[in-house]
Structure 1
Amino acid sequence: MKVLGVVLMCAYFAGSMLLAIIALNSQQATRPALLIGIIGCACLSFRQITDVQFGLWGSQVFAMFIIIYVSHISCVLCYEKYVLPPKPGVSFEWFRAYRMLFNPRWLGTDRQSPHISGTVTRAPSLDTGSKYYREKYARDPAKRFKTMWRSPWAIFLRNRLLSFAGILILEKLYSSVYYDVAPRHGIQLGITDFLPTKESYFRRLGDVTLRETAIRAWLVIFFLFSSICVYVSIHDVLAFVFVATGFDNPSDWPPLFGDIREATSIRNFWGKFWHRLVYRSYTSYGIWISKNILCLPKSSLVGKIFINFFVYALSGCVHMLAIRQLGYTCGSWGEVTFYLYTFLGVMVEMTASAAFSRVTRGYQLNRTVSKMIGYTWVFMYLFTILPKSEYPKVFCNS
């Protein structure tokens, strides 16, 4: 049953990909009809995930992958109405269409998502002032070999290997401490640590224990550590394979996450540090609904607030859908509340920032002080709302 589930899942998704490639090479009039088939095949693949045992993280990542793929290709075909760049003598472009299927950040296009960091390291330049030395260099295999290993291609592959190896080492160390060292010292988590009454913190501050506080602080670190490790390791492996085979260039695989030092606010945490895989499609949907259904001007304050609300609400619904497909129905609504609380947090910090600027007449805090306040605020935000979404899943499914 497991083998059959894998075969069906891959077959359905391959069918969706084939239809998407055809749609990208088709006229706009035929794209909506093809999109129905694309989404239908993707949904059939999505339904097979419960019959395939990839483990919780593996299944959840693949479920999210399919959802992101569907949202991206729908945006490409019917909202952005993206047309493949023409190529002389080619009537059907397989390669470019395939690449666009898995380019949710719209890399290399005029619609590229903002705050995508990363530059390609260039190979060391040669002294080209002398024809003699250029010819000597070309005849010297040792120098050609040395320069090859200093090329952007080799540097990129080396960095991806080091990144992946570092993640494996960190994950191994964490597992050793969590499963071996901590239990020997009587430090281990139990079901009572995730009781529904412990989801709130500040309302019962007088009854909170040091253990509860430590577990919440650990949860924040674990959330960041596990998410980054899983997504970056998958990104590293795929980047290594596609660049090593010559299918892609190093510039096609910029870092998945931004600089965590930019996470000085909730808005920056999600906008500059977190991956931008859904930014373009979710924002486009929000803009379309705001403009065509709610008739809100895009530049208006209400319109901007609605678009932000829609993006966070849709993110929560998508995570809930992925978790429910894996069979974790209890506590799945916590994913929606997590993102709704995030939206409220963004609104609070924007309001507080505007009020502070108005009261102090534009006074700017010291940069270091401002960053420390921002980091503390983001940590406390995760410290407060993460248990509301994570505790129910642990408690109900134990």
Structure 2
Amino acid sequence: MSVNWIWSSYAILSGAHGLLAILFVSLLGCDQPEEWPPLFGNITQAYSLRRFWGIFWHKLHTKPYDSFMSPLLSLRAFLMFFLSAICHALSNRAVHKKTHIVSEMHFFLLNYVLCLTETVGEWTTGHTLKLDWRLRRAVGYTWVLFVFICLVPGWRYPLVLDAVYSSPRQAV
């Protein structure tokens, strides 16, 4: 579960994006190929939590959310994570009839805090800590995996439990 959400979201969103690109570019001729860039970045670049969210993960939310923010706003990243939590809660409400706002806020805002911690840590040790790039990436991938192993169950389990308890039970 800790990484399944990544791959299932990646597959579903990329698959739908690819099919729609074929439809609008090749079949209907409404769009140009450059109007359909890939949704996700390169997974090999996700060797920190900041790089996971900022480089690898899809950017479906950034343009709509940018309209709520001043370009000079120093809390842009916080607002991105906050608005992501709100939108995920609203999606949960539409699909599952419950928002799970607490678990959404917990997951997304803790990710923000951890990204901020990475930034501060890199800023304070980046000039003195010289690691081989392979070691830096290995430590980074392990860190990202550790964070998701710790945070994702608390984020996703409420939805799983709802699905289990709301499914019709068969008499034996």
Give me the TM-score of the superposition, normalised by structure 1: 0.39
- The offset of 1:227, in angstroms, is 0.5
How far apart are the structure 1 equivalents of 2:69 and 2:23? 35
Instruction: Tell me which residue corresponds to 1:383.
Output: 149
What CA deviation, in whole Å up to 9, does each residue of 1:150-201 have, x standing for no partner? Answer: xxxxxxxxxxxxxxxxxxxxxxxxxxxxxxxxxxxxxxxxxxxxxxxxxxxx
Alignment of 1:221-370 (within 5 A): 221-245=3-27, 246-287=29-70, 298=72, 303-304=73-74, 306-329=75-98, 331-357=100-126, 360=128, 363-370=129-136
**Alpha-carbon deviations, 1:285-325, whole Å to 9, x = none?**
1327xxxxxxxxx3xxxx52x22111100110011011112
Alpha-carbon separation, structure 1, partners of 2:97 and 2:146? 27
Counterparts of 1:389 and 1:350, CA distance in 2: 24
Corresponding position of 2:167: none
AA paired with 1:244?
Answer: S
Deviation at 1:330, TM superposition (A): 6.3
Opposite residue 311 of structure 1, the aligned amino acid is M
**Equivalents in 2 of 1:330, 1:312: separation in Å?**
16
User: AA paired with 2:149?
Assistant: F
Counterpart CA distance in 2 for 1:243 and 1:376 is: 39
The number of aligned residues is 163
Distance, in Å, in 2 between the alignment partners of 1:250 and 1:258 is: 17
1:335 Cα shift?
A: 1.6
Q: Which segments of structure 1 move beyond 4 Å, counting only runs of 4 or more?
A: none
Task: Provide the C-alpha distance between the structure 2 equivalents of 1:221 and 1:342, rounded to a whole number of angstroms.
Answer: 15
Alignment match, 1:372: 138
The structure with the largest alpha-carbon Rg is 1
Flag structure 2 segments of 5+ consecutive residues without an equivalent: 165-172
Equivalent residue for 1:137?
A: none
Q: Structure 1: any 5+ residue segments left out of the alignment? A: 1-218, 289-297
SS in 2 for 1:287: coil
In structure 2, what is the Cα distance between the partners aligned to 1:368 and 1:235? 33
Maintained 8 Å contact 2:40/2:56: yes
Q: CA deviation at 1:259?
A: 0.4
Report the alpha carbon displacement of residue 280 of structure 1 after superposing the two structures with TM: 2.7
Are the aligned partners of 1:332 and 1:393 in contact in 2 as well (CA < 8 Å)?
A: no
**TM-score in terms of structure 2 length:** 0.86
User: Match for residue 118 of structure 1?
Assistant: none
Q: Distance in 2 between matches of 1:385 and 1:366?
A: 28
Do the aligned residues in 2 keep the contact of 1:282 with 1:314 (CA within 8 Å)?
yes
Separation in 2, partners of 1:250, 1:316: 31
- SS of equivalent residue, structure 1 residue 383: helix
**Which structure exhibits the higher relative contact order, with contacts defined as CA atoms closer than 8 Å and separated by 6 or more residues?**
2
% identical equivalent positions: 31
RMSD (Å), alpha carbons: 1.8
Q: Give the 5 Å matches for 1:1-398.
A: 219-245=1-27, 246-287=29-70, 298=72, 303-304=73-74, 306-329=75-98, 331-357=100-126, 360=128, 363-398=129-164
